[in-house]
Structures are given as structure tokens and as C-alpha cells.
Structure 1
Amino acid sequence: MSEQHIVFIGGGPRTAMILERISANRELLDNTALHLHVVDPFPVGAGRIWREDQSPLLKLNSRAADVTMFTDASVQCLGPAKDGPALDQWVQLIRDGQLHDVPSLLLTDPLLRAEVARLGPADFPTRRLQSCYLRWFFARAQASFASPDVIKIHQDTAVDLLSESSTHRVLLASGREIVADQVVLVQGHLDARLESDARSLEFAAHADTADHLGYIPPGYTNDINFQTLSAGTEVLVSGMGLAFTDLFVLLFEGRGGKFVAGENGSLRYLPSGQEPKLLAGSRRGVPYHSKIRSTTTAPLSTGYFTEEAVNELHAQHGELDFFAHVWPLIAKEAAFFYYREIFATPHSFAPSIWSEFHARFDAISWYSPERTSLVAQFVAPEFRLEFEDLEFPLPIPRPLPAQGQAQELNQLVREHIKEDLRVRDSADHPQFQALFFGLLKSFVTLPVVDALLSDTGRIQLAGWWQGFFSFVDSGPPAHRLRELLALHEAGFISFLGPETSFGFDANRQLFCAQTLAGEVHAPWFIEARLPSTHISTSTDPLLVSLYHQGLITEEPGGSGKMHITSLRQVIGRGGSIHRWLFATGATAGRFQGGAFSRPNSNSAPFADSDALARELLSAPAAMNQWELAGAIAQTHRTLG
């Protein structure tokens, strides 16, 4: 019996999903003994980002009913479906006493036990509970093999990979080695070297010049030590996305502050006395849009952004530009869902009105005078959808009033957040849920689009689209925005508004923010965003080595992610394809969804993981350039 050794570098959710898919597709193995190795210094299943060892205050920005790790029947893939409980169903099984193979922490930790007792499908679970779910899924995947010994876990760090002749060896920090036929790089989110970002390096150098100054570069908020940030210190904050949400959770409630119910569903903040003062700004000047509470009533089906439509565009234009060719189809489809829900509102429009609107909408392009005219004729101004207004929602008066400019910006941001909560955290505005699903639905077709895009188009997809989708569809729970308003009302967070830029004032020896209302200064500066995804600047020792060896390269287009084929095989220097080396997840190129997704959504990560699992099982590792050279040399020696 032959043997096949596959080594996974990284043991987070994506690896767990691939392992489950390998088990589901194991009939592809032909009399081969499979040996799977998982290397990760953090607990497998959860990995670094979702590990249990983090603040119990931090939550997912997805509801419990919207998180699954199982490849259900909705997923269009070659492997068999293997249904299983979403996070909310998993919790219910535990409550009902039907599930016993759960991490022991769930039985001993009082906070987790209390969360299991109360969590409902619409609630936002803590990341610690999600960690338990992910670890349980990994253990379930491991148990699905004929022997649990098929998977060997190495709680270690991979530091190098040597490929010599017919052998690939993964070197670990402990000094051990693992011999591999195939290696899969699944490291997930990584840190970047500070010196790789000239501005961050400059800010850090300024902070080192005086004891009263402090600077925190981009990073994972839960991993940052804020102990040197004293109470009362003024802090400039760049970024108002999800990292900013984690930041204010840890700096206020995390330091002992409390939120209590106020009037009309608002919150009031009770300080602990340990609070800093944050002055937050960004390009948009507002936090991500709130999660949506309404439900849709109209059917969610149409055919504007489809694989057929994209292939037709490719036949006409060749390589596609995302903005010129793809985005108008996504916009039209999402807007169709949005307007269909408005017209479906009881007693708002006669059915014949919708039929006429629908027929004319079908025939026009999104960016056209005809669309503008059609919407103006049928839709009241307050319900008209313009994605540019959705992305940059603050109506900034130009010029700002001569007096009270900072107060004007604060009021504009505050009123925007209140309005966002009014329409999104309400059952009365289902058009926003329809818009959410319309944009989310695009992820089914986007993997097809990725292969047809120009390098510029890939930059637009990885950059603008991901940022826009996160801002509109992947924001925080509504209660986080209420907490933000409460902190603002209590005087602990001020809003700097949009178009804010940051620097250092050498004369004042303070960090500074240039806002539409003038300059603001503070002794501390925090960049509330994740590190760069560029593999060339990663601190991961294995990626550093592989990059310098030329085994991995960055994909064209400037995303900084690993250059890979459609089969997830890594492309090295000079365009060589390493058929034994694969990459997927956050560090790998090409379009990919998140590590987990909604049930019954045919989500891209499930199909992608299934395809990769089948590729690993069905295609024995082909010779790389070193193996080929060795084989040729051996042939010459044999033949003389």
C-alpha cells in the first residue's frame, strides 16, 4: 500500500473545512494510506484569530444562525454534501443534552455556560463561543476518518520548507521535520514587518522620541497591549471599521465601564475612571453600516449578474475591468432586490406599477440616463438608491460654517449613525435586507469573474469591492453603534469626520489630524486597521523563506497576495507552477470568501475547499524542477 503525506501550515477554520472535505471525498483514494499533518502554534480548528484566549467582550459581526462550517446541499461542488448544525443549532443541541463531544471549556467556563443558556438564532455570539464551535467541528472532522491517527497535530511553527530531489521537508521551530508529498499554505491573517510601511516606521520613530508620545501600528486589536495608554490621554484614531469597534470595546467596557439602558432604546455610559479620549476619523468619516434586523417579503431571484452574463461580456471585451464591466451588473441586481421590496410593501403600489417598472428596468443599463429617469418617475426621493451615496453618506456642506466647524462634523456623524440605526435596526425597512442579500448573492458568481479580470480589475475586486461590501454589508451589530453613540455623548469619543489625514507636528511634538474643520493634535496615535496582506512584508518565517527562495511570488495587480493557479497551486518566480505546493485563505490570491458563511447559501469557501480537497486526493504530486533535474541526472548515470 502506498502512502500520501499532506502537510497543512495553519490549523484554522479553512484547514478544518478542507480536512472535512478530504474525509467526504476519500473514495478518490486508491489503496493509499493517507497521513495528514496540521502545523499551528495555536489551538487547531480556531487558530490564532478565533482562539479562546481573548476578551469575552469581543463578538462576531454575524448572527448565530448565519454561521456554519458544513458543506450543505446548497453548495454546488463535486463532493457529497455533509450537513450539520449551524452555530445556533449547535448551541440548541447542547442545551437539549443531545451533544456531548464539546470542548471542556463549555462545561467549566461560567461566561460560556451563561451564553449557551441564552443565545438565540438572531444573537451575535462571542468569539470565544465561536472558537468552541470551530474546535468541535475540527474534532468532528478528525473523527470522521477511519482512524483518528490519520491527522497528526503539531502545535509548532513552520519556519522553512526544503525541496530537494524527490523530498519536501517542512522544518519546525522545535527542530523537528515533516516529510511531505504535498504542502498546503493556510496561514490565515498575518502580521507585517513595521519597517515595510514607511509611514508606520516614521510614526513609530516619532513616538520613541518622548515619553508622552505613543503609537500603535496596524494590528489585531485583541493582541495589542494597551497598558501604557493612561486614563485621560487623548488619542487620534485612524479608521472606523471593525478594528475600531474592537478598539472602543476593549478601551471602555474592557476597562470596567458599563452601558445602561437610556430613553427610546438608547444607551448611557457609566465610566470607570480609566478611560482615554478617542478622536476618530477616516476617509468616509463614519463607522460601517449597522447589521440589519428586517426580513424580506419579495422573492430573491433575478438574472443580471450571472455566469452567462459575465462570459458574454468576456467574449465581447476579452479581459474584464471590474468597474466598467462587472460592477454595473452587481449594482443592477442588488438594486433590483432593493426596489422589488419597496414595491412589495403592502398598499404602497399597485401590482401593475411594479410590472411596468420591472419591464423597463430589465431593458436598461445601471449607469444610464434611462435608469435615472425611470427611478425619478416611479420612486420617491427618500427611497432612491445610489451606491455612491451609500458609500460616502455624509452630506458635508462646502464650505463648513465659519464657527463651530468641529461641532458641525460631530453632529453630522452622530445624526448619520442615528439614521442608520433607524432604518437598519428596524423591521419596517425590508429594502435594506433585500439590498444586503442582493450584494451577498454576487459572491456566488465572483469566483468565475476572478479568472476573467485584467490585473487592474483584480486590484479593483480585491481592493474597492471588498472594502465597499464590508462597509455596507459586514458592519457591526446595532448595539455596538448604540454604544458608540453613548461614548460620544459621554465625551469619550469625538468624530473628526471624513477626508481625515494623519501626520506628526514636529513643532508641537504631537501627532496631528488634518480634518475639514482644521488641525487636531494628540500625544497618541492608533491605526485601527489590519496589517498589510503583502506576503513580501510578512513576519511569518516560512513565507519569508519561501519568498526569498522564489517558491512563492505576489500575484500581478498589486494585491500582495500569493500568486496561485485556479487549482490553488502556487506559482513561483519565473512562472513555474509547483504542483505539490498549494495555498488558500487570506494570504492566497484569486477571489475567495471568508472562512465560514451562511447555511444554504452555496457560499464560495465550501465549493473552493471541496475542489482543493479533491485535487489533493486525485492528483499525486508531480515532479518539481529540482525533482525533474534529479531524475534526468539519475537516468544519465544509469545509461552512462
Structure 2
Amino acid sequence: MSAALVVVGAGPRGTGVLERIAANAPELLPADRPLHIHLVDPHPPGGGRIWRHEQSPLLRMNSMAEDVTMFTDERSTLDGPVRPGPSLAEWAARPEEFAPYREIADPALRAELHTLAPTDFPTRRAQSAYLDWVFRRAVADLPPHITVTVHRDTARRIDGPADGPQLVHLSDRVLTADHVLLTLGHLDSTPDPRYAADAAFAARHGRFHLPPAHSADVAAELEHIAPGEHTVLRGFGLAFVDLVSLLTEGRGGRFEEAADGGLVYRPSGREPVVHVGSRRGVPYHSKTGYRLVGPPPPFPRYFDATAVDALLDRPGALELRRDAWPLMAKEIAFGHYHELFHAHPGRTALPWAEFLDGLDAHPWASPELGALVERAVPDPADRLDLERLDHPLAGLELGSAEELQRYLRRYIAEDADRRVDPAHSADLGAFLALLSLFGQLPRILASGRLTARSVGEEVDEWFFGYFSYLASGPPGFRLRQLLALSEAGVVRFLGAGVRVERDERTGSWLASGATVPGRTVTATALVEAYLPKHVLARTRDPLLRELHRDGRIVEEVVSDPEHTHRSGLLTIRPRDGRVLDPALGGEPHPRRTALGPHTSVRAAAAFARPRTDSPGFRQNDAAARALLDALAGVGAAEVTVAEAAEAEVVAAV
């Protein structure tokens, strides 16, 4: 009797679970229990929508090639077996050594992979090729009694009782499954109501307004912005970096090396004039271009399982900033100062052991800890100031727009220099510590102990935004390009606390910032330069929309007597990803699982860094093992000949 699993979404998360199924199947699924896996996705398996090959070669990853892997390693702590595999850098260096080998068809991509250095930031097309290979390897590693069929289609509805087969409706067929896994990845919603007024304003006056969107999907829409048109980009993160690349290099401009080693931008004449501002008023910090100089810090020290156990044992509700952040901040400080003291001891004034004793003894943000840091680290530039990092322009008021341009060019140049100079490798120590927080943070989020206001304002709004700003910025060369665009007058800075208002008389937007009081810029195009946030109640995914309408899935709502927070995320059981079903009294559905960024198990990184014990691997492994346990014991749905004949059957790779 065979079993059937339908996986909706064949991008990195679906591929990662498939790899874990291949690793765990020999232990958990007997050879006399054949399993057929249907993968459903309108986009190519492996990369899926976000990492598909068909996107601009200007769009790049914000991770170095050596920092991207889809494989577990000796540091992974999971119940299933470790199956090592190459990072993107290792695979690109010698792809013919890794089965199943298939030569890349695109000559430009072949050339990129051939010259890709471990510390390069690859194009997203390069990552697409890597993910295609990872998918084909995962299929090849499946035992003979597990087969795969790929359906290049969209799932539209799921029917079926909790104790019986599930019917997954595609465009022109119905798949019968014993279990359904939703790994849908990054999804779209209808625009947030807060953008409705600007959209209506644009329609009324014949202007251009773009709500948050994935950059690869809107290249054609950007053509509606005319050359020379004054355009406000509200947002200064990764979406801004992508969009400004499409509006400049994507329109024929080019960067050239200057005599002083910097860059000069040569406009094509087709660029708009881009005015950019945000709450902080500065771009995300770029990724570092170096490795640690000293020994790796032994994380965790302060934000470990014992500390989190103690937090969760406290009576009453918890708040992230009050209760957890002091430990999290000390962990970041430990990473920063461990590297500073071990790699650059000449810039410290105390022995490391003495400093560490003080760091252990004094609470975060205490006067005693502040005095210790001042005594041990003479140069303020070597000290970690998390509040100043969060609000870099706080209290700054300048007298003119040109003064602001000069100030921010200095700020960006100094930041770009710092990110490539190993003398500042303490920044990398802090970055690695920030990543390490996700070893324990999910436990606090899953505990249900945080107040609703803390989940909404401190976790979803502040912490994840701060994390992205510090740790998920662009490659360093993007800041050099931004400087060149500013010096060419193509990009102009608005400063912090940006505000955009509508002027009905002129049909224009008026943009201003707090850094230059009284300064206003007039624009006829407005782009929300943010990555879209998926909200279940406004989802554009037809499958989730139907399930939500029918009351079979529910948005995560955190509520207490003081506050209610609606996250927009699909609620799942953290330990195995089972979907909570209101029709079953809010209990987990025994035949439906979901994993990924659209779910209530929050994650920070799209891909794992090697040897960091990625939480994503643990989630994939736990879900794969739970699925295999369930599928080993069900009386299963047969795969029909018609289904297999009309789909792409992956029998061998």
C-alpha cells in the first residue's frame, strides 16, 4: 500500500524538507511502504519564485558565497542524520565533482560561477543554479521506494476530512494525498490599507505609486517612471538597493573606477531623480568583507538554554525589551569584545579575563558596566553602542539639503570603509553573536509568555527590523555605488523621520525629514521601498485564501487584557509545523503541515551559514521526521496513472 505526500511550494523550504526526507527515510519509512511525493509550484523547483533564474542579473544576494548552504554539518543538533554537502562557494568552485552534475546552460552564469570567490556576493541567478542542483541531489538521494512528481501548477484548494485523504485541487486535476505540506515561501497580499490613500491619489492625478513588492517582479512597472522624474523611495533597506539598481544600471548607466579608487557613475540620461528617506535616514549596514581575526567566540554565554529556562520560570508575563534584551545585548557585546580583545589587544587596556569577569558580573546598561567598558576600551569608536547604532541621526539637525548630502556621504563612506577593514573585525563578532540569538529566541516566542504588545511592537516591529538593519544589509560595493549615485545627483537623501504628504492642488507628493527642518521635496512618483509583508487576511495565494475563508486556518492573534496583536502569520504548532485548524477546535490538523516565512514560527535568515547549527535545519528535520512517522502508519492514497502522465515525473536525475 503506497502513501502520498503533496508539497505545495518547491522553493528552498520545500527543497530543504525534501533533503531531510531523503536523510530520514531509511530509518523511519520501511521499504514496504512506498511513498510518492507531489511537488506543486508554478516556478522551477529548487529556486521557486524568489530565486528563479528569470530575473535581472543586477539583483544579488546579500550573503557571501561561502556563507550559504542547504546542508547540515557536524555542528547541527537534530534528531535525524547529518548529510553534509557543499556550500554555494564549494559547489561553484567544482560543480562537476558533485552528482548529479548538469552543465549550466547560460554562458554568463557559467562565467560567474567559474570566477566566483568564497567572499563574493553572487547574483540571485547563481543561487538559483545552486538550488536547482540541491533539488536534483535531494531527489537522487531518495531511497528507491520514494518517487517524486513535479507539477508546474498552482494549488487552489484543499478538501478532505481530518481522518482521511486530502484532495488538493490544481488548475486541471485533483491530487489525493495522505498529508499536505505547505512550504509556500514569500507570498503577496493585497496592499495594506495604509497605502490606499496614496494609490487613490496617484490614480486621481495620473501619478505613479508602487506599494511594497518583490523587486524581481516589478522591473516592468518601474518603466512607468519617466527619465528625470522626481521620485521618492520611502525605505532604505534591501528593497531600496534592488530598486535603485534597476532604476540606474538597469536603465543603461554604468559605474567606473575613479583615480582615487572610488567609483564614478556615468548616467545614461534615462534615470529618474531618486529622493530616499526612512525612519533612521541611513542605509542598512553592509555585510562585512572579512573573516574573524581572532578565535571564534564560544556562543552562547549569556543567552543560553539555562538563562532562558530561568526567564520562563519567572511568574507573570514577559516583555522582550525588559526581560530578554539585557541578556541578548550582553551576548552581542560578548561577541564584539571577544574579537576586539583577542584580535586587537593593542586597543584594549585590561586583560581579557579581567574584562570578562566584569562583563559577567554587571547587568547590561548598568553604570558599572559602562565604567568598565570606558576603562578597558580607550577609543569610543571601538565600543559597542547598540542604542546609537539604532538611532544614528538622533538629535541631528542640519541647515541645508546640501549639508545633509555631505554628512550622509561621509557617514556611508566611513561605514563602507569599516566593513572591509579587518581592523574593525569586532563588528563581525557582534554580527555572529546576533545570529546566535536565534538558538534560543524561538523558545521565548513559542512560550506564549510575552505580552501581546511586546510581540507586536518589540518583536515583530522593533527587533526584526533592527536585526535586518544590522545583520541583513547589502554587499559593501552597493554602498560605494550609492556614494557614486549621490555624487552624480541621481540619488538625494531626505534624512531621518521621513514624512510624505499629498498635495491635491499640484497632484504631487511632498517629502520631508526631521534632519533638515523645513526642507520639502516635491515628487510625482512614490515607491514604497519595503519588502512586502504577507498578511493572511489579505493573502493573494488562492489556496490560503480558500482555507481562511472556510475557517480551516487562522491568523496568529496574540491577545491579553491590555492589547491585541494580529501578526498576519498562519498559526502552526511550533514543534512540527502542524496547522492549527479552527474547525477542529483550534487543534493541530493531523494531515496538514506548514513551514516558512508565512507561518507563526519566525525566522531571520533565508539560508543557513555553515557550521552555525541553523534553526531552519532543525525545523525541516523535525517536520520531515513527523511526516515520515505519520506516512508510515496510514492507509494511503494511490497515485493515479493520469496524475503521473500529465505531470513531470522525476524518476532519475
Does the TM-score normalized on the shorter chain lie above 0.5? yes
Q: CA deviation at 1:155?
A: 0.5
Per the alignment, do residues 350 and 137 of structure 1 end up closer, same or farther by CA in structure 2, a change over 3 Å counting?
A: closer
Take 2:445 and 2:213, find their aligned partners in 1: how far apart are those partners? 28
Offset at 1:466? 1.5
Picking from 207, 214, 221, the partner of 2:208 is: 214
Residues 55 and 346 of structure 1, relative CA distance in 2, 3 Å threshold = closer
Given residue 254 of structure 1, which amino acid in structure 2 is its aligned partner?
G
Matched residue, 2:415? 420
Query: Once structures 1 and 2 are overlaid, which stretch shifts more, 80-89 or 311-320?
Result: 311-320
Amino acid paired to 1:249: S
User: 1:355-366, aligned counterparts within 5 Å?
Assistant: 355-366=353-364
Partner secondary structure for residue 559 of structure 1: strand
Report sequence identity in percent: 40
Q: Compute the displacement of 1:311 (Å).
A: 0.6
Which string of whole-angstrom CA distances, capped at 9 and with x for unpartnered residues, describes residues 520-559 of structure 1? 2101000011222211111111111011111111112322
Q: CA deviation at 1:103?
A: 4.8
1:562 corresponds to 2:562? no
Unpaired runs of at least 5, structure 1:
624-640
CA contact (8 A) 2:99 2:137 kept: no
State the SS of the aligned residue for 1:561.
strand
Equivalent pair of 1:7/1:180 in contact (CA under 8 Å): yes
**Residue aligning to 2:643:** none
- 2:404 aligned counterpart, secondary structure: helix
Residues 622 and 580 (structure 1), Cα distance of their counterparts in 2 relative to 1, 3 Å cut: farther
Where does residue 598 of structure 2 map in the other structure? 587
After TM superposition, list the pairs within 5 Å mapping 1:501-516 onto structure 2.
501-516=499-514
Which whole-Å deviations, capped at 9, do the CAs of 1:569-603 have from their partners, x for residues lacking one? 11122523212111110101123343421111101
1:460-499 to structure 2, matched below 5 A, reads 460-499=458-497
Contact 2:35–2:145 (8 Å) recurs in 1: no
Q: Are the equivalent residues in 2 in contact too, given 1:281–1:498 (CA < 8 A)? A: yes
Unaligned runs of 5+ in 2: 559-565, 635-653
Distance 1:500 1:335 in 2: 31
Q: Indicate conservation of the 8 Å contact 1:394/1:416, yes or no.
A: no
2:179 aligned residue (171, 179, 182): 182
Distance 1:483 1:549 in 2: 49
- Distance change in 2, residues 1:148/1:240 (3 Å): farther
- Go from structure 1 to structure 2 and tell me whether the alpha carbon gap of 1:242 and 1:270 turns closer, same or farther (over 3 Å shift): same
Separation (CA, whole Å) in 1 of partners of 2:157 and 2:169: 5
1:283 aligns with 2:279: yes
CA–CA distance in 2 between the matches of 1:75 and 1:571? 28
Q: CA RMSD in A?
A: 2.0
| 2:620 equivalent among 609, 621, 631 | 609
- Structure-2 change in CA distance of 1:345 and 1:116 (3 Å): closer
1:343 to 338, 341, 352: 341
Superimposed CA distance per residue, residues 470-502 of structure 1 (whole angstroms, 9 cap, x where no aligned partner): 110111111001001100100000000010022
Query: Could you tell which deviates more after superposition, 379-388 or 519-528?
Result: 379-388
Pairwise CA distance, 1:145: 1.6
Partners of 1:263 and 1:394 in 2: CA distance: 31
Give the match's secondary structure for 2:412: helix
Do the aligned residues in 1 keep the contact of 2:73 with 2:83 (CA within 8 Å)?
Answer: yes
* Alignment-mate amino acid for residue 262 of structure 1: A
Distance 1:272 1:53, change over 3 A: same
Query: How many angstroms apart in 1 are the aligned matches of 2:236 and 2:349?
Result: 42
How many Å apart are 1:102 and its aligned residue?
4.2
Give CA deviations for 1:425-460 in whole Å, capped at 9, x if unaligned. Answer: 212211111111111111222222222242444333
For residues 254-305 of structure 1, give each alpha carbon's deviation from its aligned partner in whole angstroms, at most 9, with x where no partner exists: 1111101114431000111211110000001111001112332144015111
8 Å CA contact retained: 1:16, 1:138: yes
Tell me which moved more, 142-151 or 378-387.
142-151
Residue 572 of structure 1 is matched in structure 2 by 581
Aligned equivalent of 1:16: 15
Query: Do residues 254 (structure 1) and 266 (structure 2) align?
Result: no
Structure 2 partner of 1:322: 320
**Equivalent residues of 1:593, 1:604 under 8 A apart:** no
8 Å CA contact 2:349, 2:375 repeated in 1: no
Q: Which of 203, 215, 240 is matched with 2:198 structurally?
A: 203
Quick one: which of 265, 268, 274 aligns to 2:261?
A: 265
1:449 pairs with 2:444: yes
Structure 2 matches for 1:69-148, cutoff 5 A? 69-94=70-95, 97-99=96-98, 101-104=100-103, 106=104, 108-147=105-144
Conserved? CA contact 1:14–1:595, under 8 Å = no
Question: How far apart are the structure 1 equivalents of 2:581 and 2:307?
Answer: 33
Whether the 8 Å CA contact 1:184–1:582 is kept in 2: the answer is yes
Query: Which amino acid in the other structure matches residue 29 of structure 1?
Result: L
Following superposition, the deviation at residue 5 of structure 1 comes to 1.3
Deviation at 1:54, TM superposition (A): 0.3
Q: 1:305 aligns with which of 292, 298, 303?
A: 303
1:85 partner SS? coil
Query: Residue 150 of structure 1: SS of its match in structure 2?
Result: strand
Q: In structure 1, what is the Cα distance between the partners aligned to 2:317 and 2:76?
A: 28
**Helix, strand or coil: the match of 1:265?**
coil
Task: Give the TM-score normalised by the residue count of structure 1.
Answer: 0.92
Residue 180 of structure 1 deviates from its aligned partner by 1.3
Q: Cα 1:352–1:237, aligned 2, differ >3 Å: closer, same or farther?
A: closer
For the pair 1:36 / 2:47, whether they are aligned, the reply is no
- Aligned match of 1:631: none
What amino acid does structure 2 have at the position aligned with 1:603?
Answer: S
